[in-house]
Structure 1
Amino acid sequence: MEQLTLTTPALLFSAISLIMLAYTNRFLAYASVIRNLHAKYLENNDDSLLRQIKNLRIRLNLTRYMQIFGITSLLFCVLTMFLIYIDFYIIAVWAFGIGLILLLISLALLIKEIQISAEALQHQIEDIEQYLGNK
């Protein structure tokens, strides 16, 4: 088995940081869209807006869990580095493995969120096609 060194978990820092930046941008975009849809719904009580808001609630929750698992993964990478520093190699290997699994979960949630986002866009396209068909 290859030896785990300080540089191995450190390599994940930049990747996890970029992923967390992307997750945060998604979260902020959803917050903005939800605020706009809320204002529109208060103006005209359109049921199609409710469907969009429900969809966004699911996506927002997925993004929150993506962030939680991503941040926890980063914490386990830092823990791994500390454990290597104090010569607890066996525990460090396990901590690093847990961090990788958490990162995998975060990325799997991202895939699910992308699928839901694509479905939401399909609903938008269907609404537009239905509107154009009625003209």
Structure 2
Amino acid sequence: MELELSTPALLFSAITLLMLAFTNRFLAIANLIRGLHKKFKESPDEEELVVEQLHNLRRRLSLIKNMQLFGIFSFLLCVICMYLLFQGYTVAANWIFVGSMASLLIALGLSLIEIQISTKALNLELSDMEEVFRSRKSSLDFIFKKENKKE
């Protein structure tokens, strides 16, 4: 297969959209960390849940940083590939294009791992809320059962 100048150019829009998605995930994590910091300052006694969230957020932050790094590296290799094709160095351009695709694949793999961790973090939040609702429901059931017995 002959690599043409338009082939790596097609990756520009895909890589740009991925970088935008990665940046949005970074901003969401930053907001979560700021909110958690504020919550911790207000009530530092909820240590167990905060420690688990900190571990997840630190790992997700690292993954997002690496996702962005590999996305930028893929974008850079794509530009170099286009330059090499323009200069007529097709063999080198083919290898650089393979490197660009591999870097993009790594970024997508890291994104998949980050989504898994994000889901785990959300499940922690849900389980915490479920415990509160269960305790409220059991206390309300106790009240309603007494009222039913009086009737």
TM-score (norm 2): 0.86
**5+ residue gaps, structure 2:** 137-151
Q: Is 2:71 aligned against 1:70?
A: yes
C-alpha displacement at 1:131, in angstroms? 1.1
Q: Percent identity?
A: 47
1-structure distance, mates of 2:56, 2:121 = 7
Greater CA deviation, 41-50 or 56-65? 41-50
Task: Report the equivalent of 1:10.
Answer: 9
The answer to whether the 8 A contact 1:80-1:95 is kept is yes
- Alignment match, 2:37: 38
* Count of residues paired in the alignment: 134
Q: Distance in 2 between matches of 1:121 and 1:29?
A: 13
- How far does residue 43 in structure 1 lie from its aligned partner after superposition? 1.7
Q: After TM superposition, list the pairs within 5 Å mapping 1:20-99 onto structure 2.
A: 20-45=19-44, 46-47=46-47, 48-99=49-100
Give the superposition deviation at 1:49. Answer: 2.1
Look at both structures and tell me which one has the larger radius of gyration over its CA atoms. Answer: 2
Unaligned runs of 5+ in 1: none
Large movers: runs of 4+ above 4 Å: none
- Name the CA distance, whole Å, in 1 between partners of 2:130 and 2:20: 35
Contact 1:41-1:50 within 8 A present in 2 as well: no
What secondary structure is seen at the aligned counterpart in 2 of 1:5?
coil
Shift of 1:53: 2.1
Q: Distance in 2 between matches of 1:18 and 1:124?
A: 29
CA RMSD of aligned residues (A): 0.9
Match of 1:122 in 2: 123
Query: What secondary structure, in the 3-state scheme, does the structure 2 residue paired with 1:134 have?
Result: helix
**Per-residue deviation at 1:35?**
0.9
Shift of 1:132: 1.2
Distance in 2 (alpha carbons) for counterparts of 1:122 and 1:35 = 20
Q: Please tell me whether residue 108 in structure 1 is matched to residue 109 in structure 2.
A: yes
Compute the displacement of 1:50 (Å): 2.6
Task: Report the residue type matching 2:53 in the other structure.
Answer: Q
